[in-house]
């Protein structure tokens, strides 16, 4: 049996086989020098280094409170029982940020009422705010903030009552 290069199909197959052999014997560089540009557009911020991993954890208001960023560490906040790592938004949620009072706290009521006042926060020694007095519009506001945080920040835990763990 002989290989006839006079037909276009045989020529195309030979070129394809040679191309695949070249990729096997001379693979492309596997470690890119920079972040590919197609990934940069997916981020609203590009960290210099990835922060240390924070495992999904169950928090209480008391155990969430230390994550307020005042020591330069992680900044967490909760919305509707879900805890988000908002450390990447330190300019907003850090001690000097305009929403800094929500750091280390349950921000559900404040997000629902579109108010960033300290009166929106429940004391960490008291039971979680059940949000029963919120209007449907306020619930929808809170859900909108939840969706925004879900698409921008890492979910790192859930918030439960102080005596639950």
Whole-prediction pTM value?
0.68
Q: Per the structure block, which two tokens stand in for 133? A: 């007095």
Tell me, yes or no, whether 136 lies in a domain: yes
Could you tell me the CATH number of the domain that includes residue 68?
Answer: 3.10.120.10
In residues, how long is the chain?
165
Phi and psi at residue 99, to the nearest 5°: -110, 20
Tell me, yes or no, whether 2 lies in a domain: no
Q: What is the pLDDT of residues 43-52, one digit of tens each?
A: 566 666 666 6
Residue 144 half-sphere exposure toward CB, CA atoms < 13 A: 11
Tell me, yes or no, whether 101 lies in a domain: yes
Number of domains observed in the structure of the chain: 1
d(CA 129, CA 44): 32
Tell me, yes or no, whether 137 lies in a domain: yes
pLDDT band at 29 (very low <50, low <70, confident <90, very high): low
Residue 140: which domain range?
Answer: 57-159
Per-residue pLDDT at 68: 95
How far apart, in Å, do the first and last CA atoms of the chain sit? Answer: 76
pLDDT band at 102 (very low <50, low <70, confident <90, very high): very high
Tell me, yes or no, whether 139 lies in a domain: yes
Tell me, yes or no, whether 14 lies in a domain: no
d(CA 107, CA 118): 10
Q: What is the pLDDT of residues 132-158, one digit of tens each?
A: 999 999 999 999 999 999 999 999 999
């Amino acid at each position: 049996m002989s290989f006839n290069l006079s037909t276009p199909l045989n020529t195309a197959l030979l070129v394809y086989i040679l191309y695949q052999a070249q990729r096997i014997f001379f693979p492309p560089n596997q470690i890119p020098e920079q972040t590919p540009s197609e990934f940069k557009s997916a981020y609203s911020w590009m960290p210099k280094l990835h922060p240390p991993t924070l495992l999904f954890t169950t928090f209480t208001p008391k155990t969430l409170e230390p994550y307020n960023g005042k020591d330069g560490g992680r900044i967490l906040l909760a919305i509707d029982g879900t805890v988000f790592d908002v450390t990447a938004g330190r300019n907003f949620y850090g001690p000097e940020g305009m929403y800094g009072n929500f750091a280390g706290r349950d921000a559900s009521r404040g997000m629902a009422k579109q108010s960033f006042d300290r009166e929106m926060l429940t004391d960490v020694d008291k039971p979680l705010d059940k949000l029963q007095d919120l209007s449907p519009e306020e619930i929808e506001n809170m859900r909108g903030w939840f969706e925004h945080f879900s698409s921008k920040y890492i979910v790192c835990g859930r918030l439960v009552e102080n005596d639950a763990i």
